[in-house]
């Protein structure tokens, strides 16, 4: 996809929602939302429900990452709309209404969801949710699996599918963020294997361990499996309905990255999802766990080539100039 200038105010996306909340989102002025974000930024994370007294929409704001997140969320929303028509699955994603940049901030406006994180439900005593725990676990695993079956855009490469040039996010990295914008899977595999040599290099051949991502398909990898991203409510027929939220960690990645996210998940959702997604490949995981250990303690440029180190320096200089 074409890359964009992150310093220019502009509209990136505007949907055609039919709901009253969507129409309300499109009617809001950029000045109004920008002013409200400034009033809250000292005390809150970069997100808010709006209007505060009776929320109709949910807003996230920040830098180009927000644009990329919105693009990945739109892809997921479109795909699940198609799947729901075919399979009648009860999995939903908040609709993206609008993405725009204004005064060096990017805003993502989406549907506000009145649902409850799964952990809160099963920590309570409501007999409905206790009776439907297995069904909820099935739906969570189904959501991850359905997203992984999304057709990959023909011009997509590793990372987020967006004109916003950003580092993708995944739990394997320090602070959950890649330190390179990889041009393809081969570059990422080479980087990982240089780090693997650091981790396992004391072992003699053929025991030195490496990853192989080239032979794997790219899949839509939703890797932020924390409890608060799986929200449930009862639908009109009295069945559990899942709302999957927060697409900050969504990217097109080799399928081993989805395996890693599922196995290394440490939330309430861990065991239910692991027990149901048993066919995910495991062959790269031992090496990926070792690489994750190194990423966690080393400098951000660990395993870089000199060319990559130079590019990182140039990127940091450009960032300093912009800010």
Instruction: Assign 50 a pLDDT band (cuts: 50, 70, 90).
Output: very high
Q: Is the pLDDT of residue 1 over 60?
A: no
Is there a contact between 221 and 257 (Cβ–Cβ < 8 Å)?
yes
Instruction: Assign 4 a pLDDT band (cuts: 50, 70, 90).
Output: low
Average pLDDT over residues 19-28: 98
Average pLDDT over residues 295-301: 92
For residues 44 and 149, which has the higher predicted lDDT (pLDDT)? 149
Opening angle at CA 98, ends 233 and 158, nearest 5:
85
pLDDT of 311 reads 84
3-state secondary structure of 95: coil
Q: Is the pLDDT of residue 123 over 70?
A: yes
74/111 Cα distance (integer angstroms)? 12
**Can you give the residue ranges of every domain in the chain?**
10-322
Question: DSSP labels for 8-66?
Answer: S-EEEEE----SHHHHHHHHS-HHHHHHHHHHHTTTS-SEEEESSSS--EEEEEESHHH
Average pLDDT over residues 101-119: 96
Instruction: Assign 317 a pLDDT band (cuts: 50, 70, 90).
Output: low
Average pLDDT over residues 152-157: 96
| Least confident piece of the model among 51-55, 226-230, 306-310, 311-315 | 311-315
**Percent of residues, the chain, with pLDDT higher than 70:** 92
Cα 142 to chain centroid distance, Å, stands at 17
Instruction: Assign 323 a pLDDT band (cuts: 50, 70, 90).
Output: very low
pLDDT of 270 reads 85
State the residue for tokens 């069904």: 135
**pLDDT, tens digit, 9 for 90 and up, residues 66-79:** 999 999 999 999 99
Instruction: Assign 321 a pLDDT band (cuts: 50, 70, 90).
Output: very low
Instruction: Pull the structure tokens for residue 27.
Output: 């009617």
List of E strands, the chain: 10-14, 47-50, 57-62, 91-92, 96-102, 105-111, 116-117, 218-222, 230-234, 240-244, 250-254
Over its C-alpha atoms, the chain yields an Rg (Å, rounded) of 21
pLDDT of 2 reads 47
pLDDT of 203 reads 65
Instruction: Assign 5 a pLDDT band (cuts: 50, 70, 90).
Output: low
Average pLDDT over residues 301-308: 93
pLDDT of 320 reads 42
The DSSP element (H or E) to which 278 belongs, if any, is none
Backbone phi, psi, residue 138, to 5°:
-60, -40
148/80 Cα distance (integer angstroms)? 11
Per the prediction, the chain carries an average pLDDT of 92
Q: Is the pLDDT of residue 93 over 50?
A: yes
**pLDDT, tens digit, 9 for 90 and up, residues 197-246:** 999 876 655 566 899 999 999 999 999 999 999 999 999 999 999 999 99
Among residues 9, 86, 21, 89, the alpha carbon closest in space to that of 55 is found at 21
**pLDDT, tens digit, 9 for 90 and up, residues 234-251:** 999 999 999 999 999 999
The conformation of residue 175, written as its DSSP 8-state character, comes to G
Instruction: Pull the structure tokens for residue 28.
Output: 């809001």
């Amino acid at each position: 996809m074409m890359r964009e200038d992150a310093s220019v105010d502009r509209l990136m996306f505007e949907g055609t929602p039919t709901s009253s909340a969507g129409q309300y989102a499109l009617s809001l002025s950029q000045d109004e939302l920008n002013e409200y974000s400034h009033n809250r930024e000292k005390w809150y994370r970069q997100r808010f429900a709006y209007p505060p007294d009776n929320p109709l929409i949910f807003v996230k704001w920040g830098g180009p990452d927000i644009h990329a997140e919105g693009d990945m969320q739109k892809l997921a929303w479109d795909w699940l709309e198609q799947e729901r028509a075919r399979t009648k699955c009860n999995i939903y994603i908040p609709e993206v209404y609008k993405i725009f940049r204004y005064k060096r901030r990017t805003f993502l406006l989406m549907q506000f969801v009145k649902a409850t994180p799964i952990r809160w439900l099963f920590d309570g005593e409501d007999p409905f949710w206790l009776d439907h725990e297995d069904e909820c676990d099935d739906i969570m695993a189904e959501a991850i699996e359905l997203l992984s079956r999304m057709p990959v855009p023909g011009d997509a490469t590793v990372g987020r599918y967006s004109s916003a040039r950003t580092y993708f996010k995944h739990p394997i990295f320090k602070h959950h963020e890649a330190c390179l914008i990889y041009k393809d899977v081969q570059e990422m595999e080479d980087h990982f294997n240089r780090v693997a040599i650091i981790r396992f290099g004391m072992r003699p051949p053929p025991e030195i361990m490496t990853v192989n991502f080239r032979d794997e398909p790219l899949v839509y990898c939703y890797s932020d499996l924390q409890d608060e991203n799986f929200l449930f409510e009862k639908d009109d027929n009295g069945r559990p309905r899942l709302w999957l939220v927060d697409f900050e960690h969504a990217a097109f990645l080799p399928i081993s990255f989805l395996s890693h996210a599922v196995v290394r998940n440490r939330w309430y959702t861990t065991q239910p999802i692991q027990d149901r997604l048993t066919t995910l490949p495991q062959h790269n995981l031992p090496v990926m766990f070792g690489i994750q250990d190194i990423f966690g303690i080393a400098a951000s440029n660990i395993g870089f080539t000199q060319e990559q180190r130079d590019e990182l320096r140039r990127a940091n200089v450009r960032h300093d100039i912009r800010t």
